[in-house]
C-alpha cells in the first residue's frame, strides 16, 4: 500500500502508540490513524517491511469513558526522515481481530461525525 493509494480516510490524532518487534521497539504518538493503518514519529529508522505488534491507546471519550487499548499486527510501509521530528513511520495493519476492528471503527466514525459538525 503506498501513501497515495490509501484504503480509508485518515484522521490526524495524537494517540499513544507502542510499536514492538524483534528488530525495533518504541513508544510514540500517532500522527494519523485510519481503519487500515497509522503513522507515527520515531527517533530511529525502522526499515520497511518490518512486522510488529502495535498497541494504540484510545483516549477517554463518550464512547470509552476509561479509554481503551487496542492491539493489532502491522507492517512498516515507509520510513521518512523528517528533520527534528525524527523519522515518520507509516504502518499498514495486517491483522486486526474483529472486536478490535469494531472498536476502531466506532472511534473513527465518532471522529468523522465530530469533524462534520464543525464544517
Whether 1 has a pLDDT exceeding 60, the answer reads no
pLDDT of residue 2: 41
What's the CATH fold of domain 11-117? Answer: Thrombin, subunit H (2.40.10)
DSSP 104: H
Ranges of beta strands (E only) in 3-103 are 11-12, 16-20, 25-33, 37-42, 51-58, 68-81, 87-95
**Is pLDDT of 119 > 60?**
no
pLDDT for the residue 104: 95
Mean pLDDT of 99-107: 94
**Sequence spans of domains, the chain:** 11-117
Burial class (CB in 10 A: 0-12, 13-18, 19+), 45: middle
Please list, in sequence order, all residues whose beta carbon lies within 8 angstroms of the beta carbon of residue 39, skipping any fewer than 6 positions away: 10, 30, 31, 32, 88, 89, 90, 91
pLDDT tier, 45 (very low <50, low <70, confident <90, very high otherwise): very high
pLDDT tops 50 at residue 3: no
The pLDDT of residue 112: 85
Amino acid at each position: 500500500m503506498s501513501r497515495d493509494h490509501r484504503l480509508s480516510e485518515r484522521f490526524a490524532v495524537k494517540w499513544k502508540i507502542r510499536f514492538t518487534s524483534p528488530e525495533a521497539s518504541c513508544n510514540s504518538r500517532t500522527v494519523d490513524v485510519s481503519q487500515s493503518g497509522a503513522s507515527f514519529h520515531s527517533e530511529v529508522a525502522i526499515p520497511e517491511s518490518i512486522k510488529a505488534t502495535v498497541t494504540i491507546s484510545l483516549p477517554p471519550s463518550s464512547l470509552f469513558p476509561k479509554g481503551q487499548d487496542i492491539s493489532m499486527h502491522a507492517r512498516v510501509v515507509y520510513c521518512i526522515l523528517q528533520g527534528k521530528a525524527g523519522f515518520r513511520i507509516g504502518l499498514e495493519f495486517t491483522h486486526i481481530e474483529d472486536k478490535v476492528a469494531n472498536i476502531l471503527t466506532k472511534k473513527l466514525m465518532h471522529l468523522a461525525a465530530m469533524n462534520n459538525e464543525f464544517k
